[in-house]
Amino acid sequence: MDKGYVDYFWWKELDDEGVTFVTRLKEDLKYQVIEEWPVPERGPVTGDHLIEMAATVQRPFRLVLRVVTIWDEDKQQEMAFLTNHLGFAASTIAAIYKQRWQIELFFKALKQLLRVKTFVGTSSNALHIQVWTALIAALLLKYMQFRASAGLSLSNLVALLRQQLFVYRDLWQWLADPFQAPPALAGIHDGQLALEF
């Protein structure tokens, strides 16, 4: 999570429930170093410490967390990450924080491409069904994008697929050449009933 989500009570609740988190360390956070862990000689990690945030009047509990400090070569600055995960290597903690943007992009794709902007129900079951359905659709679309030989972007594939929903055609042939005209429908609708007035 970004460092805008500083909520010590929430962190305590997450920690008590066994949920791990990684966030940026705010400079004004008051803590005491309990233990200093060794860091690799080579690599971006410059510090790895176990810290304690003591209980205060506003925060009547103590939190034991970990601070991992790295040197970011691209930005030419030191970055510190705060986590409650004590088992991963320090470089893995930094990589987890770096990958948070991929999660943002994933949810953006869910909202834009699959139109999950509002929920159709309010119960937990309805939300689960809608999100799981969107995830399954996203997985199928990514597989179709992988199989497509035209090198389409995901948004183009979704747009072209929407145009083909009511066309009877072989999916794999269409993915090989998505800009071809629909095949002739001879014999497809022969069993259709005629309207008699």
pLDDT at 190 over 60: no
The string of DSSP codes covering 120-135 is S--SHHHHHHHHHHHH
Which residues, including other chains, have CB under 8 Å from residue 183's CB and lie 6 or more apart?
168, 169
Statement to judge: residues 81 and 148 lie in one domain: no
Reported as a pLDDT band with limits 50, 70 and 90, residue 191 is low
The per-residue b/e assignment along 39-53, b for 16 or more CB within 10 angstroms, e otherwise, is beeeebbebbbebeb
Quick one: pLDDT at residue 28? 76
Q: Model confidence at 188, in pLDDT bands (50, 70, 90)?
A: low
117 occurs within a structural domain: yes
- One domain for residues 82 and 111: no
Say if residue 86 is in the same domain as residue 132. no
Residue 34: inside a domain = yes
Q: Which residues pair with 22 in a beta bridge?
A: 83
Q: 46, 71 in Cβ contact below 8 A?
A: yes
Question: Domain range holding 165?
Answer: 103-176
Out of 58, 81, 98, a domain closes at 98
Q: Examine the domain organization and report whether 147 and 162 are in the same domain.
A: yes
Q: Please, what's the b/e burial string for 58-89 (b: 16 or more CB within 10 A of its CB; e: otherwise)?
A: eeeeebebbbbbbeeeeeeeebbbbbbeeebe
Q: Residues 96-131: pLDDT tens digits? A: 888 888 888 887 877 777 777 777 788 889 888 888
pLDDT bucket at 17, cuts 50 / 70 / 90: very high
Considering the entire predicted model, what is its pTM?
A: 0.59
Least confident of 3-17, 153-167, 172-186: 172-186
Give the total number of structural domains in the chain: 2
User: Is the pLDDT assigned to residue 91 strictly greater than 80?
Assistant: yes
pLDDT higher for 121 or 66? 66
Instruction: Name the band, by pLDDT with cuts 50, 70 and 90, for residue 185.
Output: low
| Any domain includes 14 | yes
Would you state the structure tokens that stand for residue 11, as one six-digit string? 């962190």
Q: What mean pLDDT do residues 177-185 have?
A: 75
Same domain (yes/no): 84, 117: no
- Reported as a pLDDT band with limits 50, 70 and 90, residue 67 is very high
How big is the chain, counted in residues?
Answer: 197
Residues 79 and 117 in one domain: no
Q: What is the predicted pLDDT for the residue at 193?
A: 65
Residue 3 lies in a domain: no
